[in-house]
Structure 1
Amino acid sequence: MKKILAISLILAGMGIFIFENIYAGLFLLLLGLNFIVTEGTEIDLESKTYRKVKSIFGKNFGTWEPCPKFDYVSVFKTTETTNVSSKGAQIASFKSDIILLNLFYSGNKNFTISKTTNKKEAFEIADHLKLALDIDILDATESEKKWL
């Protein structure tokens, strides 16, 4: 739903920019681009580096940093809410169930490395990280957490 809204805003913004009002078109265009930007984390397991990225149309931006010593990977189920607003007024609110993969290090420090709606895919990624980084998996997708 978010992508449909983003594409609609981009197309409307381009049309208004070209045929009507430059500022209003530019505003809608930038708003649409903001909705289509995705964030995440890339890890290069060979060089033991990572980067937090922002991606737009498949182009990733971010700087590589050395990986800390990871303690475990957590597979966590939660609800994500996306609010759409314009000129200070909330237009719509979208809720969706998602599964986050968080890498924990130095006790309780962590960062999210993946966000998905597919539980099987999340555990495949977690298994790969377990083998590559020699860490445990914490399954927090149910009310009772368990180590795998």
Structure 2
Amino acid sequence: MRILSFTQTMKKNIVFKRKVPIMRYVFGVAFFFMGIAWLVTGNLFGMIFCGMSIFFFNRDGSEIELDIKRYRTFVELFGFRFGKWEDLPDIEYVSVFSTTESAKVRALSAEATVKNDIIVLNLFYNGNHRIKAYATTDKEDAFKVAKQIAERLKIDILDATEAESKWI
């Protein structure tokens, strides 16, 4: 199951967006229709539910422009991305490692937790500072993106997906 989407535009930009879990869509649609039903009956409290439903459809992610050397983390709502661009610091290396990601969906008293094994790419600078550049469930895809970043920024790749880390 793929939990993240990835876009490359002419191999200059790297964008990853976390996919919205299906339960968030379900809660968002339910809140929206409950709000509409209350509005139709004349209850203005329905506007609050319609407004709350919008926040169930947002996505977060990051975008890196390799040629201009800038990046941003963003929140996307209905196709519009909101986030501040920052200059990319002097990156020392790209780290590729495996981890587990948990996503919690809450609505009123209901809660669901979904855990997935993912592979994350971090860009390290100034020793231990990092920028989360990309995440995927596909190891080949992760190394493909890591190689692209390494070639464009002329840096090394650290493979930390196994117990023994190694430089590529």
TM-score range, shorter chain: 0.7 to 0.9
**What amino acid maps onto 2:29 in structure 1?**
L
Correspondent of 1:25 among 45, 49, 63? 49
**1:4-46 C-alpha deviation (Å, 9 max, x unpaired):** 212212221121011135166337514523xxx3322211122
Higher mean C-alpha deviation, range 95-104 or range 37-46:
37-46
Read off the aligned partner of 2:84 and give its amino acid letter.
T
Name the count of aligned residue pairs: 144
Could you tell me the TM-score, scaled by structure 2's length?
0.76
Matched residue SS, 1:11: helix
Question: How much is the aligned-residue C-alpha RMSD, in angstroms?
Answer: 2.1
3-state DSSP class of the match of 1:142?
Answer: coil
**Does residue 72 of structure 1 match 2:100?**
no
Q: Is 2:35 aligned against 1:11? A: no
Question: 1:48 is matched with which residue: 61, 69, 75?
Answer: 69
- Segments of structure 1 that go 5 or more residues without pairing to the other structure are none
Bigger helix fraction: 1
Closer, same or farther in 2 for the Cα pair 1:3/1:83, shift >3 Å? closer
What's the CA shift string for 1:56-102, capped at 9, x where partnerless? 33322112221110000011110011223344x56222111011110
Deviations 1:89-122 (A, max 9, x none): 5622211101111000000000101111111111
- Identity between Structure 1 and Structure 2 (%): 39
Q: Distance in 1 between matches of 2:82 and 2:165?
A: 34
Residues in 2 aligned to 1:90 and 1:142: alpha-carbon distance in whole angstroms: 37
CA distance 1:123–1:58, change in 2 (3 Å): farther
- 132-141 or 44-53: which moved more? 44-53
Paired residues of 2:89 and 2:125 also in contact (CA < 8 A): yes
Structure 2: give runs of 5+ residues left out of the alignment: 4-19, 39-44
